[in-house]
Amino acid sequence: MEIFGYVVIGIVGALLLFMILRTVFTRPKKLETSDYVAQEINLEEVTAHLVGAIQYETITMSDNSQDGSKFLAYQEYLESIYPLTMARAEKTLINKYAVIYKVKGSDESLLPVAVLAHQDVVPADEDGWECEPFSGEIKDGYIYGRGSQDMKSQMIVALDGMETLLRSGKELKRTVLFCFGHDEELRGTEGASCISEHLLSQGVRLEYVIDEGGTILDGSIIGINKKIALIGTCEKGYADFKLEVEKDGGHSSTPRRKTSVNTLVSAINRIEKHPVRPTWVKPVKDMFKALAPYMNPAFKFVLVNRDIFSPILKPLLCLISPFTNCLMRTTSATTQLKGASTPNTLPGVASANVNCRINIDETVESTLAHLQKLAGKNVKISIEEGYINPSPVSDIDSNAYAMLEKTIKEVYSEFLVAPYPFIAASDAKYYYKLTNNVYRFTPFEKTVEDANRIHGLNERIEIAQLVAGTRFFVRLFENTCC
């Protein structure tokens, strides 16, 4: 028995030593030297450009048969404020209102890059706004208006970056395609999807794609005393599931023991209490691998030895914050409920919509099976139209990713950079047929409060952020296209 005890102690000691050494030898990358000099940006000009852009009410149309002249007018505005870029650009309208501006480079042997943005914005009711939502009003150092964050600001700084580059006399060697859809808020099927199909039909291959999505956040929640710039290398899938229960209706004065509403609510409760299990998908593992060297000792020890601590760590990350929970698993949220049309009626049919954001390595079908198992045989579940499986995961060992990381570190010198799975949806998902290098990054710092204004009241962007955003695109074009 004593020998067995010594063996156990020896194994535990060896494992602990291995874990300590593994942590000690996980070190930050060596800093690379750079010749970067920050470009002078005309803040007054880029501010005026965004203010003007917000004033075009390019609200997403419910279908492409509607009058989309507002998008054509918005394009005319862009063409008027970027004379150098547009003088070199070849314009192609796609499906009436989406557009490609092709700014040709001098070296046709280089694959072009695609800079994505969407022209459309969600509706904005004036009630509750501090400023008229399509005024672009400037107040206390912010530009207010629908689209100020999502995402006319990124479109404007990208175009200002190109205009600034050309104004400086730099030669563009690689062709840049500015691809602007017009229905991203309705999943991009009439805009971005059609653009990518057009490019595919022309035999186009891309060096990389950059779209909205990655974010800048405070690293303190994972033991890092710096800000972190996250590059989205993939995005979760999207699906709405309709849950429906049919039972005899009647008058509410004589309720049955199990009504359609009772059965439906019970099913929803089971779904909420038993979420999909968390998993270590590749982009999450890549994220923690990139960030672990910069964590405080305790966080670093746990994350470097993630495989050993996994049974505890996975559920813990799901509890730390909504953000880390979304990274670790497929999420579901009940967003709509429908019962009787009058308050004293037992509905014959009760229904609900459950919106799911599907994790990498899972599918719409596997999510349906999970929901159906929990809901039970008395609940009919169907998949609503417009669903999409998770995207592929982009290459983080490519030169394109290295140049994007380099650009971020140059412009935001104190930031750490890491890949991650984008937890929402973007137009970028349609471009994997054209390249393996599809990335999502939004070059603006924002508070949690301001991030929560997206699609909500008083959407705004801090004017000072437009300088860094424009510098980011200038430097990205210098690093990858000149």
* CB distance 237 to 362 below 8 Å: yes
Structure confidence by residue, pLDDT tens digits, 78-132: 999 999 999 999 999 999 999 999 999 999 999 999 999 999 999 998 899 999 9
Structure confidence by residue, pLDDT tens digits, 401-437: 999 999 999 999 889 999 999 988 899 999 999 999 9
* Predicted TM-score of the model (pTM): 0.91
CA distance 362 to 329: 10
Catalytic residue, from 120, 405, 427, 459: name it: 120
CA distance 96 to 325: 40
User: Could you tell me what percent of the chain has a pLDDT over 90?
Assistant: 74
Going by C-alpha positions, the residue among 400, 393, 361, 425 that lies closest to residue 283 is 393
- Structure-block tokens of residue 446: 């924002």
- For residue 108, count CB atoms less than 10 angstroms from its CB and return exposed for 0-12, middle for 13-18, buried for 19 or more: exposed
First to last CA, the chain: 72
Say whether 449 is catalytic.
no
Domains belonging to the chain, first-starting first, are 43-213+424-481 (3.40.630.10), 237-275+339-389 (3.30.70.360)
Going by C-alpha positions, the residue among 284, 324, 325 that lies closest to residue 307 is 284
**CA trace torsion 336, 337, 338, 344 (10° rounding):** -140
Provide the residue-wise pLDDT of the chain in tens; the chain has 482 residues: 577 766 667 677 777 777 777 877 778 877 677 788 888 999 999 999 999 999 999 999 999 999 999 999 999 999 999 999 999 999 999 999 999 999 999 999 999 999 999 999 999 988 999 999 999 999 999 999 999 999 999 999 999 999 999 999 999 999 999 999 999 999 899 999 999 999 999 999 999 999 999 888 888 877 888 899 999 999 999 999 999 999 888 878 788 778 889 999 999 999 999 999 999 999 999 999 999 899 888 888 888 888 888 899 999 888 888 888 999 999 999 999 999 889 998 898 999 999 999 999 999 999 999 999 999 999 999 999 889 999 999 999 999 999 999 999 999 988 999 999 998 889 999 999 999 999 999 999 988 888 889 999 999 999 999 999 999 999 999 999 99
Q: How far is CA 330 from CA 323, 359, 360, 414, in A?
A: 12, 5, 8, 32
Catalytic residue, from 160, 183, 184, 459: name it: 184
Structure confidence by residue, pLDDT tens digits, 368-390: 999 999 999 999 999 998 899 99
CA distance 404 to 417: 10
CA distance 404 to 103: 20
What sign for the dihedral angle of Cα 304, 310, 315, 318?
positive
Say whether 184 is catalytic.
yes
> Tell me, what's the pLDDT at 137?
97
- For residue 363, count CB atoms less than 10 angstroms from its CB and return exposed for 0-12, middle for 13-18, buried for 19 or more: middle
Note the residue count of the chain.
482
Instruction: Show the DSSP H helices in 32-68 as ranges.
Output: 43-54
Going by C-alpha positions, the residue among 376, 363, 365 that lies closest to residue 274 is 376
CA distance 119 to 51: 14
CA distance 229 to 217: 7
- Structure-block tokens of residue 249: 């209706």
> Tell me, what's the pLDDT at 424?
85
| DSSP 8-state code for residue 70 | H
